Amino acid sequence: MARDLFLEIGMEELPATYVAPAVEDLRDALARELDAARLAFDADGIRTYATPRRIAIVCPGVAEGQETRVRTVTGPPAKVAFAEDGSPTKAALGFAKSQGVEVADLEVEGDYVQVEVTDEGRSATDVLPEHLAAAIGAIGFPKTMHWGHGTRFGRPIRWLVALLGDDVLELEYAGVRAGNATFGLRFWAPGPHRITGAGDYLEVLERAYVVADADVRRETIRESVGRAAAECGGTAVPDDDLLEEVTYLVEHPTVFVGRFDERFVELPKDVVVAAMKGHQRYFAIESGDGRLLPRFLCVMNGPPDHVDSVRRGNERVLESRLADAEFYWKEDTRTALADKVDALKNVVWLEGLGTLYEKAERLEALAGDIAERLGSEDADAAVRAARLAKADLVTEMVRDGKEFTELQGIMGREYAMMSNEPEAVATAIYEHYLPRFAGDSLPETEPGLILSIADRLDSIVGCFSAGLVPTGSQDPYALRRQAIGLVRMIDEKGLALSLAELVAVAAEGHGVEDAGSSEIAAGVLDFVRQRARNFFIDAGYSYDLVDAVLEASFDDLVGVRPRIEALTHFRAADDFEGLVIGARRVMNILKGQEGHAHDPSALVEPSSKALEDERVKAAAAVGKATAAGDYDVAVRELLNLRKPIDTFFDDVMVMVDDERLKSARLGLLAGVRDLFLTIADFAKVVLEGEDREDA
């Protein structure tokens, strides 16, 4: 009969960001351990629960005992195990003893001795403790603690519950022996509280003022926040990240409304929201027109019995933080944002890479260059925004690691508007930090887009020029994230920009000699190419088609996606495999054979002339199609080369003694190869049945 396995790990409060990943680690680890233990279980029925003080898991349908298995064990070589007369040696005797069998049970298979061993199943109660301990030990945390038992964990473990059905398992971990008692909400119903099995866990904790199901807790908070905001005549400012964090900060959520002085709503909205969210984890309330109300929503941990005293304490704390913000705002707005730019001369950007003022100067030049390449009508706004983009880093609100540091860019926009800068300039200052993370919004305005590209290029090239190149998992300056953001903007916004030329311009700004052909520029382009490869594979494209396109041409990044999609469309076409094979033959024969001029007049064979005629037709059609951005048509035209290529290789010996004839044939093939490379390096396409790397 199968029974439910239940495990709860009780501990001191975990940081909110630790909880959800720890739950997933425990789920994965327990499934692995049950497989390793040879215990059948219902993998689809696994349920998890979590609060700041506990992680619990229920695995239904766990078998009462291990499955019996028969396995073949290979031992020493037969010539070592048996003497010439067939008598067993010490090697055979030792092998038989180690496997718990008689020498007569040994068999010779090929050159080695083998034996079939039957592993009788042990009971689940005997097997599980060691595997549960292993599962707990597999949980990872950003930082761990140890407290005298030689075991590290996210926080000290205070209790364990381990049950198979209603039987307590003999589990011990970190000096704590498992039992059947859990603990409730501190100060309200601490416990211990006995549970008889997985079935009554939630009910027992509910009586002890703990909502163990994170999904239930999250929805309770969401509904309570919405209801309380409506009672104030507004709606809660949406913030899924804050909701997720608060969900894992409390065990028994109670939402209440607090107030603050109405004068603070005159501060920029983002400042007030940041003051609420930063340390206090409050939800802001806004009216129908988007203005903040002088109210906040707090989620306390526990029943509402003493909510008035809790409210007063939270109101005092928020008033203090808003008063600080008000002071910073008044000080910062005494002078225009442009007047703060000179102060950037006193702020080092990165060691060996000058000051923020010098970075601003480079951004001005680079933004102007990009704007010119794009034919932007907002070039002046982009250049002006580049000059002001970093000025908010020396303001009272943002500098020195205050709680409002996260508002860099946002405050730059606010101060620019207060300084009567054009709206396009103010918006670009904010947008040049976008995208900040995977999936974040891209800049919506052209000046913001230009400045964001310029800032990323300057940072990546600058770090490479100073030797600050990411290695392994180390990327202290977030260059990978910046490169992916660069790829996203060019790809999703359809920007016709030459990456090689932009990198060269950025390198010149950092004083790199021979910027366009330097090792630094090459390193940057290869770095961005790798990020582009990851980006397109993550988008769902086959790795080999991504490699084929990027190998052929990476400089025109905006054309990468449509070329990959065209190859994807035609992959199933009848002629596609033949084209790939033909392309490989062309590429292979040209290895080490560069420098042969393309001279059609030197071709003599009908098949050579026919291939040249088809190449000319295809080149004209492909050129027209790519100019129009129609890569499907371009690939279709290349498919027409399949038969002429096959006929050429059937009829013509390329590597002949006649140097003029050999050179003409190689020149023809080089022309065919170059035509292929306008779309992709087809030699990198993996055909069905060939070995494929794990994309």
CATH number at residue 610: 1.10.730.10
Is 73 within 8 Å of 99 (Cβ atoms)? yes
In a domain? residue 551 = no
Q: What is the pLDDT of residues 278-310, one digit of tens each?
A: 878 999 999 989 899 999 999 999 998 889 999
Residue type, position 551, single letter: E
> Above 50 in pLDDT, residue 256?
yes
Q: Is 670 found in the same domain as 595?
A: yes
Kindly tell me the sign of the dihedral angle through the C-alpha atoms of 18, 23, 26, 29.
negative
Query: For 142-151, 283-292, 326-335, 378-387, which range has the lowest pLDDT when averaged over its residues?
Result: 142-151
Beta strands in 63-125 (DSSP E): 69-77, 107-109, 112-119
Q: What is the pLDDT of residues 119-139, one digit of tens each?
A: 777 888 999 999 999 999 999
Q: CA separation (Å) from 585 to 582, 591, 615, 647?
A: 5, 10, 16, 12
Residue pair 14/63 in contact (Cβ under 8 Å)? The answer is: no
Query: In the predicted model, what is the mean pLDDT of the chain?
Result: 91
518 pLDDT more than 90: no
Residues 159, 308, single domain; the answer is: no
Is the same domain home to 41 and 166?
yes
Instruction: Tell whether 344 is covered by a domain.
Output: no
Number of domains into which the chain is organized: 5
End residue of a domain, out of 154, 185, 207: 207
pLDDT of amino acid 691 = 63
The predicted pLDDT at position 368 comes to 97
Average of pLDDT values for 243-265?
Answer: 96
Same-domain pairing of 264 and 409: no
Q: How far apart are CA 391 and CA 411, in angstroms?
A: 10
Same domain? For 526 and 661 the reply is no
> If you average pLDDT over residues 17-46, what whole number do you get?
93
Tell me how far apart the 2 most distant CA atoms of the chain are, in Å.
103
pLDDT tens profile 426-484: 999 999 999 998 889 999 999 999 999 999 999 999 999 999 999 888 888 999 999 99
Q: Is the same domain home to 396 and 517?
A: yes
Within a domain: 689: no
Write down the pLDDT at residue 694.
Answer: 40
Q: Same structural domain for residues 520 and 600? A: no
At 18, which amino acid appears?
Answer: Y
Residue 348 lies in a domain: no
Q: Are residues 98 and 190 in the same domain?
A: no
What is residue 443's predicted lDDT score, i.e. its pLDDT? 97
Q: Specify the residue for token string 């499907």.
A: 632
* pLDDT exceeds cutoff 90 at 86: no
| Percent of the chain residues past pLDDT 90, beyond the cut | 68
What residues make up the domain containing 243? 214-332
Mean pLDDT on 493-515? 91
- Residues 246 and 187 placed together within one structural domain of the fold: no
Q: Is residue 546 part of a domain?
A: no
Taking 70 as the threshold, does the pLDDT of residue 261 lie above it?
Answer: yes
Q: Where are the alpha helices (DSSP H) in 232-333?
A: 240-247, 269-278, 307-332
Per-residue confidence band for 695, with pLDDT thresholds at 50, 70 and 90: very low
Whole-model pTM over 0.85 = no
Residue 349: inside a domain: no
Q: Is residue 159 part of a domain?
A: yes
Residues facing 164 on adjacent strands: 5, 167
- The domain boundary, picked from 332, 362, 383, lies at 332
Q: What is the CATH number of the domain that holds 402?
A: 1.10.3210
**Can you tell me the distance from the alpha carbon of 647 to that of 610, in angstroms, rounded to the nearest whole number?**
9
Pair 102, 134 in one domain: no
Q: What is the CATH number of the domain that holds 151?
A: 3.30.70
Residues 6+ apart with CB under 8 A from 628: none
